[in-house]
Structure 1
Amino acid sequence: MMLASTRGVALAGFAFCVLMMAVALALEHIVGLAPCPLCIFQRVGVIATAIVLAVAALHNPVGRIGRALYGVLSLITVAGGAFVAGRHVWLQSLPADEVPSCGPNLDYMMDMLPLQDVVAMVLTGSGECAEISFSLLGLSLPAWTLIGFLFLAMAPLSLLWLAVTARR
């Protein structure tokens, strides 16, 4: 059974990350939806998770410590992405009069401000991030991304399960 191995779980999670990024890039470059700063941070969460899972697949640890380490690291990256997606969904649910005003774009902030200030400003959100420019089955893209992160969490949780049930 392929998914019972560290490599199988990591490759399945990595493949799902690739799928999430392919959808995001298709929506940007084919459909023409420009990502807002929160969307970009969600992409960072997907890419960070993909990196951790790719390294886990290449390393393929069989012991408890290695599986647990990759499980925890990838769960942290998934949780970070899910947090940003959840924040984005929350911003989109605000009444129009409570939405924060639009701020400078992400490129300008990255050039002019320290990284911690940029992160704080992006997570505060802006009017740009509260707009719902596309929905599918009544859910906005950030809601679908949050669902994707919750589904993706199965890979790190499986790695942790493999660590707990490992014989050594």
Structure 2
Amino acid sequence: MALPASRPLFLLALFVCVALMGAALYLEHVVGLEPCPLCIIQRVLLILVGLVCLVALIHHPRARPSAERAVAARLYGAGVAFFALLGAAVAGRQVWLQHQPSDQLPSCLPSLDYMIDVLPLQDIMRMLFSGTADCAKVDWTFLGLSIAEGTLLAFIAFGLFGLTQLFRTSD
């Protein structure tokens, strides 16, 4: 069975990214849920997945030979898979934190703006990934999944999509 052309798939992935970001912004600005540092990192990685998909859509002129389009689709697939893998790692960390006893987590971190102004990047990353009780708090669920669990599933799906594009044999 032949795979569908890559361009419509990148368009679909871009729409999913936009919908997920729209949901995140709705939950923040309408529902009132404040994102934790790990949530912000996941948003950045989701935006990067969306940007790779957007570039894949733009850089697909029909005048190019089919072989060039296939190589480009593979490269864009690798980009999607890379950012999705990073996103899955961050979301997986947050899911792990959500399943830890709250008394074993630090209570809070300084604000991200403060850390960027004062600390070196290595210390910021270490502190962000150590997680806090804020990152472990589950304020909202959908179909029994926390936001982090749903995001983890989305990043896994994006990763599989990227790997499919990376290893496809035709355009």
> TM-score of the superposition, structure 1-length normalised?
0.89
Note the 1:11-160 alignment, pairs <5 A. Answer: 11-60=11-60, 62-63=66-67, 64-160=70-166
1: CA distance, partners of 2:4 / 2:123: 42
Mind listing any 5+ residue stretches in structure 1 that lack a counterpart?
none
User: Number of residue pairs matched?
Assistant: 163
1: CA distance, partners of 2:49 / 2:34: 23
2: CA distance, partners of 1:141 / 1:123: 17
Q: Report the Cα offset of residue 155 of structure 1.
A: 2.8
Q: Report the Cα offset of residue 49 of structure 1.
A: 0.4
- Percentage of matched positions with identical amino acids: 44
2: CA distance, partners of 1:107 / 1:5: 43
What CA RMSD, in Å, does the superposition of the two structures yield over aligned residues?
1.8
The secondary structure found in structure 2 opposite 1:78 is helix
The secondary structure found in structure 2 opposite 1:79 is helix
Contact 2:81–2:158 (8 Å) recurs in 1: no
2: CA distance, partners of 1:108 / 1:66: 40
Are 2:9 and 1:9 equivalent residues in the alignment? Answer: yes
Contact 2:80–2:158 (8 Å) recurs in 1: no
Q: C-alpha offsets along residues 93-112 of structure 1, whole Å, 9 cap, x if unaligned? A: 00122123312121111111
Q: Report the Cα offset of residue 139 of structure 1.
A: 1.9
2: CA distance, partners of 1:68 / 1:29: 37
Q: Counterpart amino acid of 2:41?
A: F
Q: C-alpha offsets along residues 16-68 of structure 1, whole Å, 9 cap, x if unaligned? A: 11011011001001101010100000001100101111101111274343222
Cα 1:18–1:25 change in 2 (3 A) is same
Contact 1:9–1:158 (8 Å) recurs in 2: no
> TM-score of the superposition, structure 2-length normalised?
0.87
